Amino acid sequence: MRIGIVCPYSWDIPGGVSAHVADLAEALIRMGHYVSVLAPAEFDELLPDYVVSTGKPRAVKYNGSVARLSFGPIAARKISKWVEEGEFDVLHVHEPLAPSLSVLACWAAKGPIVATWHSSMDKSRMMLTLSKLAQTAMEKVSARIAVSEAARTTLIKHVDGDAVVIPNGVDVRAFCNAKPMFGWPGANLSIVFLGRGDEPRKGLSVLVDAYPEIRRNHPNVRLLIAGPGEPANTLKSLSREDRASVTLLGMIAPQDKASVLASGTIYVAPNTGGESFGIVLLEAMATGTPVIASNLEAFSRVLDHGRAGLTFENENSTDLAKVVSDLLADPIQRAELSVQGKSRVAEFDWSVVATRIVDVYESIRVSGVKVEPDLTGQMIGRLGRGRITPESRSD
């Protein structure tokens, strides 16, 4: 199948949506499909073969942060050309309401179009972006995918119609053979925390409050904290001895994530809320490190309700200390959780997720019908168009 994918955010800066698009494109290519990705990017020479750049993105304040987007007549022309030359069977746009390439692509093309919604939005923003014109662009989308139940709920509430939920994938191969960092966990026990140290909803303080109790039960335990943000304030409550067993890594490069996760005897995700999925839990499970997480709805779902990882009562340090101490004392249960975790994460491997996305493509495409440039809704364009007939199907 020939697939065109549109990524609205800059390819140069790693982010949720562009990482998703890159993983999806590579998984589809491994399955034998032809893939071309259209994305804004500044440095052409660093791009993988399958990416076509629309040029340097512009930094715009959008969605509460500065986003690097691409728009304007030149971008629009590039899209038309890309659609015309691509002869795609399916066009897949991501985050279709972002004021960037995706919404332009919906304008410039017609035929089998799939759109994936990544974030959930509140009503007022949704109403604003769903202006009449954006709505017309949305009308061309044949199939909608939401990456989480939260994103789907927003969609159903504010736009007519439903969406198929297909979660994010994990590149299991990148994590399953990860080696721990030198000297970790060694003969000692270790706990890994990953995330912004100064963002309350990541829950570092819940873990820090539980830590003295954990160390009373297991004096040889160490705590490894990785992620941007300054956690010094949170760590102030620790005694000097406890503090001495904490290692701060600061921000880590994406390629080091796997070995950090593998360095833990256990991985703890004490997030207090606002999580719609929990990809890092899956990444930890892929390295074979047992996971303990707060009992948020999304986390419990990922952990298969206790079968693939343990949960503790959200924001309850006492409960966290107990669950962690018990698991540190029980190597047999750790080994079991490690095996269960690895088999659970296989369900979220990109190869599986990409197969489900291909099912969506197949459910809207007809062989012989290609994505083509849309010469706007002119009356003249309507003349001389016959009915479409399916050509000989080949699967």
- Using CB under 8 A as the criterion, which residues of the chain lie in contact with other proteins when the complex forms? 110-112, 136, 139-140, 142-144, 160-162, 164, 359-360, 362-367, 369, 374, 376-379, 381-382, 385, 387-388, 390, 393, 395
Smallest separation, CB 295 to other proteins (Å): 25
CB atoms within 10 A of CB 252: 14
Tell me the CB-side half-sphere exposure of residue 228, using CA atoms within 13 A. Answer: 2
Nearer to other proteins, 245 or 340 (CB): 340
* Residue tagged 């760590």 (tokens): 235
Instruction: Cite the beta strand spans of 305-373 per DSSP E.
Output: 310-312, 372-373
Q: Which is nearer to other proteins, 242 or 349 (CB)?
A: 349
Q: Measured from the CB atom, is 109 or 206 closer to other proteins? A: 109
Q: How far is the CB of 110 from other proteins (least distance, A)?
A: 6
In whole angstroms, the minimum distance from the beta carbon of 350 to other proteins comes to: 18
Residue 55 Cβ, how far from other proteins at the closest point, in Å?
A: 28
Minimum separation from the CB atom of position 361 to other proteins (A): 10
Nearest distance, CB of residue 306 and other proteins, angstroms: 19
Which tokens hold the place of 94?
A: 């991501």
Pairwise CA distance, residues 364 & 362, whole Å = 5
Which amino acid, residue 54? Answer: T
Q: How many residues belong to the chain? A: 395
Nearer to other proteins, 115 or 226 (CB): 115
Judged by beta carbon, residue 45 or residue 395, the one nearer other proteins is 395
Q: What's the CA gap between 206 and 296, in Å, rounded?
A: 14
- Residue 12 or 349 having the CB closest to other proteins: 349
Tell me phi and psi for residue 207, to 5 degrees.
-70, -40
* CB closer to other proteins, 159 vs 248: 159
Give the C-alpha separation, 30 to 50, whole Å: 12
Query: Least distance (Å) from other proteins to the CB of residue 143?
Result: 5
Find the helix or strand (DSSP H, E) in which 224 lies: strand 221-226
User: How near is the Cβ of 111 to other proteins at its closest, in Å?
Assistant: 7
C-alpha distances in angstroms, 97 versus 9, 60, 128, 138?
Answer: 12, 15, 10, 9
Q: Nearer to other proteins by C-beta: 146 or 223?
A: 146
Tokens encoding 346: 């296989």
What pairs with residue 110 in β-bridges?
372
Rounded CA-CA distance 158/156 in Å is: 6
